[in-house]
A and B are shown apart, each in its own frame.
Chain A
């Protein structure tokens, strides 16, 4: 929220569908009610929550560090991202938000050891999410946390949680694996049979094209879009869309201005090298336009004219959906997520209807129907 604290509504009244809101836990021991032993004891010793082994955030303002700092300072309420009431006041109600998709910050998908523990954590987190967030507001939609490193267990968790009416997708944290590989296909099969979307999101274990680490946080952070491109390439050419034709993907926090390059590059290679992947039956650009969407965050400062050029080169205005990344340090204020001067119809697509169509939802709220 950028205005004075006494202001309860933003002057930016455009209805919104926010595809990327991070709910945070104060402490992983909050999961204990849903954990059996030994996990109930183990979680008290687990140091994986919000702790990146790779980098210190140079502004000391990553969401995880802010939570840790607040806890160290003795705060237990009012923490941005942790406190639901604060979130409702300064984001859901302050802006005209019809739906917000919770995407968590709980990347047990990066754990490479003690698989039973990671599976239990994922399951407990989903139950915690329902009780502490989804049940509090019908505008909220959920992402199922899974352990993709254990695909069969992940599929079981998808079947367990997929029936919840507010769960709309699973969340796959970008790591150093290629998610198109067949070992992950049970996850996609489970998503298809539960009519769930698949969301890719950057994690604190996202690999760059030259490996897991680079020398500096700024180098690593600047490489995220490349990591998303790699996943897109993997999913397309491993035939995921040909095997599961009803699946739809959304890529969050990877940007989208690289799409004109990627669509053409993939199509050109398909024309030349299709013999290697005969199971891929359509031009990649056609598949992407139909089955993939991309969160608007992070904005890259394009003018209205430049944005129109991007969409023209993509051959579609349907590909991009507003994503705030609340409450992260680099999150985008809704009024600044797209350049000023866009035609109102286009702004409404980017802010609302592209996401409604992607998730197969109505834009109506209880208030609209009252």
Chain B
């Protein structure tokens, strides 16, 4: 039965930052996007089990015309520090493979506290 966990105050992360939480019932990668929204995902990359918390939170390059680079700077994509796999923290889905994903957990801010449902 999922339960909601209070993981800290709303200002615990600056926008565009992420933090590995290890004191919950399971490890969670907590992310705050550029817009200030919190998300929580499973921290291990499904490719080779590398911890995503050592990677970068960034925007990503949208599908574009040949020779064009279109960058969307939302800080909603976590990139694996080893092989560069990219995951959208809003959904946990891979940015390039429809059948690859990390688990995402419902997250919200209630009365100034960040709540993650595990």
Contact = CB atoms under 8 A, between A and B. Distances in A.
A2 B49 contact: yes
Nearest to B50: A2
Interface in A42-79: 59, 61
Interface residues of B, number: 13
B37 interface: no
Contact of A331 (B49, B51, B82): B82
A157 interface: no
Contacts of B51: 2-3
A336 B83 contact: no
Contacts of A335: 48-49
A330 interface: yes
Interface string A104-130: 000000000000000000000000000
B86 to A, nearest CB: 10
Contact of A333 (B50, B81, B84): B50
A329 interface: yes
A3 B50 CA distance: 8
A250 B47 CA distance: 27
B13 interface: no
A2 B48 contact: yes
Contacts of B44: 2
Interface string B7-30: 000000000000000100001000
A336 B82 contact: no
A330 B83 CA distance: 5
Interface string A1-36: 011100000000000000000000000000000000
A333 B49 CA distance: 8
A114 to B, nearest CB: 36
B49 A59 contact: no
Nearest to A298: B83
A332 interface: yes
A335 B27 CA distance: 20
B84 A59 contact: yes
28 contacts: A2-B44, A2-B48, A2-B49, A2-B50, A2-B51, A3-B51, A4-B22, A4-B27, A59-B79, A59-B84, A61-B81, A61-B84, A329-B82, A329-B83, A329-B84, A330-B82, A330-B83, A331-B82, A332-B48, A333-B48, A333-B49, A333-B50, A333-B82, A335-B48, A335-B49, A336-B47, A336-B48, A336-B49
Interface of B: 22, 27, 44, 47-51, 79, 81-84
Interface of A: 2-4, 59, 61, 329-333, 335-336
